[in-house]
Structure 1
């Protein structure tokens, strides 16, 4: 179902961030190195260091021919592909940025991180529109509902906080995880939200009421990322336990475990980030072992 295709080496330090481009040919990675790296899916090889960075990168987000780079310093940079240069650098937070998302219907950019605030920026000129405190400590992750009516924040205080996207008012708190929430993702149709945590559990919340309908002991350690396949009924998870798991997005059956122990090939350290290529042909994973791995989806 998923098989190892290529291991891409070149990073000298742990990697925390991945982003697709607008095509099916290239993607980007970044971490504790001094730059954002561009890779080719066509040749399965290093292309170039796309841009330098001033501090470690914890998040990459691509939207509308621009790459947003969230740094440990609390700043984010905007690389514009039309102009082939960095067009803005904003000192957004006083502590590291852990997540960046765009609200397409409002033409807004959201940043959040270790200071517990969420900042709202205009995508026209990157001016700050609004800022609000979601948690006293870290907001690790953001998921935006497919219809862009609600947003979920995964927080260090063990809570998932649901907000209305129209006015950024808080709607409810979801309490069930016993340790910090490290990943959240809405099903592409918006029928449920999945959350992952340092408690190694996946929790399934049915919408619209956000009722907890299932608890899955998914991994041995922290669940760092959750990614739905763009067209098929699957989602993948990655963990501090060095494994990638592929799940059925309808009945939550575990289909495949990709790990050094199970498959004879895999990451040797924590897997911090995963994503599907735009066309769904590849799953791309990376982490503390400095390797970027490409897995091919076989139907």
Structure 2
């Protein structure tokens, strides 16, 4: 299903963020190095340090030929690939930014982080349109429903908060996890929302009512990322327990465990982020061991 293809070295500190490029075969990583690194999946090699940043980067988001960079300082930086330069910078939050997401139908960008607020920005000129408080605790993660009608926020206070995207009105909270919520993903067809937490569990909520369908003890420690394959009925999770797992998106059967312990190849420390390449051919992972690993999807 998935096999190790290449380990890319170069980062000197832990890595927290990954993003694909609109350009085929190019992706980016960032963390405590104070620089965003460009890699080539075609050549499986380092390309360049794309741009410097002032503090650690916790999240990267690519949308419409622009890379949005969220820093520990609360700074939001926008790099334009066509102009090959930084085109906007703003002190978006008073504390670290942990997640960035774009709302295509509204031409808006959302940022959230340690201060528990969500800021809504215009994608046209990065003007702040709206700001609201989700929680008094850190908001670590966001996910948008496929039809862009709802958005879910995962908080350090153990809760998931669901809002209507049309007017950012509160809909409901889901109090299932026994620890901070660290990852969220909607099924590509809108069947369910899946959440991961520091309690090492995955919770599956059937839509549209968000009824709890299943709880899975998925890892030994916190689940830091959940990503659905772009075309196949699988999703992958990664964890502080140094493992990546591949699951069936229909019946939640566990297909594969990628770890040093299980397969002799994997990360030696916490895995902080995973993503699929745009074509679904590769799974890319990174974490506290400073390595970027590329896994190939087989048959």
TM-score, normalized by length of structure 1?
Answer: 1.00
Distance 2:134 2:142 in 1: 11
Return the offset for 1:105. 0.2
Q: How far did residue 168 of structure 1 move? A: 0.3
Is contact 1:163–1:172 with CA below 8 Å preserved after alignment? yes
Partner Cα separation in structure 1 for residue 159 and residue 23 of structure 2: 36
Structure 2, unaligned runs of 5 or more: none
Question: Per-residue displacement from partner, 1:113-142 (whole Å, max 9, x unpaired)?
Answer: 000000000011000000000000100000
1:22 and 2:22 correspond: yes
Aligned equivalent of 1:293: 293
**Distance in 2 of aligned mates of 1:210 and 1:34:** 39
Q: What secondary structure sits across from 2:261 in the alignment? A: helix
Higher mean C-alpha displacement, 202-211 vs 21-30: 21-30
The runs of 4+ residues in structure 1 deviating greater than 6 Å are none
| 1:25, distance to aligned residue in structure 2 (A) | 1.1
> What is the match of residue 9 of structure 2?
9
CA distance in 2, matches of 1:172, 1:261: 40
Q: Are 2:46 and 1:46 equivalent residues in the alignment?
A: yes
1:23 and 1:278 in contact (8 A); partners too: no
Alignment of 1:245 onto 2:248? no
Distance (Å, rounded) in 2 between the aligned partners of 1:298 and 1:22: 24
Assess if the C-alpha contact under 8 Å between 1:234 and 1:246 holds in 2. Answer: yes
Cross-structure match for 1:216: 216
RMSD: 0.4
Residue-by-residue CA offset, 1:168-191 (whole Å, 9 max, x unaligned): 000000111000000000000011
SS in 2 for 1:33: coil
- Match status 1:31 vs 2:31: yes
Is residue 72 of structure 2 the alignment partner of residue 72 of structure 1? yes
SS in 1 for 2:142: strand
CA deviation map 1:143-180 (0-9, x unaligned): 00000000000000000000000000000001110000
Q: Distance in 2 between matches of 1:191 and 1:6?
A: 34
State the shift of 1:23 in Å.
2.9
TM-score (norm 2): 1.00
User: Which residue is 1:81 aligned to?
Assistant: 81
**How many angstroms apart in 2 are the aligned matches of 1:274 and 1:252?**
19
